[in-house]
Amino acid sequence: SYVLTQPPSVSVAPGHTARITCGGDSIGSKSVHWYHQKPGQAPVLVVYDDHDRPSGIPDRLSGSNSGNTATLTITRVEAGDEADYFCQVWDNGSEHGVFGGGTKLTVL
Amino acid sequence: QVQLQQSGPGLVKPSQTLSLTCAISGDSVSSSRATWTWIRQSPSRGLEWLGRTYYRSRWYSEYASSVKSRIVIKPDTSKNHFSLQLNSVTPEDTAVYYCARGIITTYRFDPWGQGTLVTVSS
């Protein structure tokens, strides 16, 4: 089955840029979606189809995807960005949804 | 604005059946552009896609191989909701269960239900 690999944690100072990676075999050929999840809450979609944002998501969040790595970039990081971030793809081979293990973003 | 509202018990005994329902507002369970999905989350398994139901001229249900022998996801068009049944549960099925809408064609999940913590314990 398809596997997505994320770093367990990323730390960044306020105002700086955070980059969260999601690795997978030829992930650049798939559409990658990103979610954030705050404690006790359900995941919320923040980037879809590699780089598109749902309405209401600030343009400080952006996505890219190429080769074996997709990246979620958060510029001008704020305390409110602190959350767990998950990547997700649809695996056409198994016809299953697949999630990465999640990355905890800590704002120092 | 689409909203999903989950309901069902938070405690299930081992070997019994876990049953949850997800009520849809702002969309239709029969939508040709959506799939209706159950996902669970636990510390040991992370986020795990369990399965989905959807309508494309007829009803389909598809399941994760890890639970395929024990799971049923089905729609109820009269109530515009869909349900999850997971049979023969064990403590390993303890998790927060979410319903979510999957959107064609790349199947992002948006929105999600509020989540239900289901504990399997005697």
Confidence of residue A101 (pLDDT cuts 50, 70, 90): very high
Please state, in angstroms and rounded to a whole number, the distance separating the CA atoms of residues B110 and A18. Answer: 24
Rg (CA), chain B: 14
Would you call A2 an interface residue with chain B, using a CB distance cutoff of 8 Å? Answer: no
What pLDDT is stored for residue B9 in this prediction?
95
Would you call A43 an interface residue with chain B, using a CB distance cutoff of 8 Å? Answer: yes
CB–CB of B20/B7 below 8 Å? yes
Residue B57 pLDDT > 90, yes or no? yes
What pLDDT is stored for residue B64 in this prediction?
96
Please state, in angstroms and rounded to a whole number, the distance separating the CA atoms of residues B98 and B48. Answer: 10
Q: What is the mean pLDDT of residues B36-52?
A: 97
End-to-end CA distance of chain B: 39
CA A95 to chain centre: 21
In 3D space, the residue among B74, B73, B119, B112 whose CA is nearest the CA of residue B96 turns out to be B119
Residues in A closer than 8 angstroms to B109, CB to CB, are: 33, 35, 43, 45, 88, 97
Residues in B closer than 8 angstroms to A96, CB to CB, are: 49, 64-65
Q: Do B106 and A42 touch (CB under 8 A)?
A: no
Q: What is the mean pLDDT of residues B104-118?
A: 95
Q: What is the mean pLDDT of residues B40-46?
A: 96
Residues 85-104 of chain A with CB under 8 A from chain B are 86, 88, 90, 94-99, 101-102
pLDDT digits 0-9 by tens, B67-105: 999 999 999 999 999 999 999 999 999 999 999 999 988
Query: Residue B89: CB partners within 8 Å, gap ≥ 6?
Result: B12, B14, B15, B16, B17, B18, B70, B120
Please state, in angstroms and rounded to a whole number, the distance separating the CA atoms of residues B113 and A5. Answer: 25
Q: What is the dihedral of CA B80, B102, A61, A100, to 10 degrees?
A: 130
Please state, in angstroms and rounded to a whole number, the distance separating the CA atoms of residues B96 and B14. Answer: 17
Quickly count: other Cβ atoms within 10 Å of residue B20's Cβ. Answer: 22
What pLDDT is stored for residue B103 in this prediction?
94
What pLDDT is stored for residue B105 in this prediction?
85
DSSP state of B115: -
Q: What is the mean pLDDT of residues A4-14?
A: 98
Q: What is the mean pLDDT of residues A63-91?
A: 98
Q: What is the mean pLDDT of residues A61-66?
A: 98
| Span of A52-56, A104-108, B105-109 with lowest mean pLDDT | B105-109
Q: Do B106 and A54 touch (CB under 8 A)?
A: no
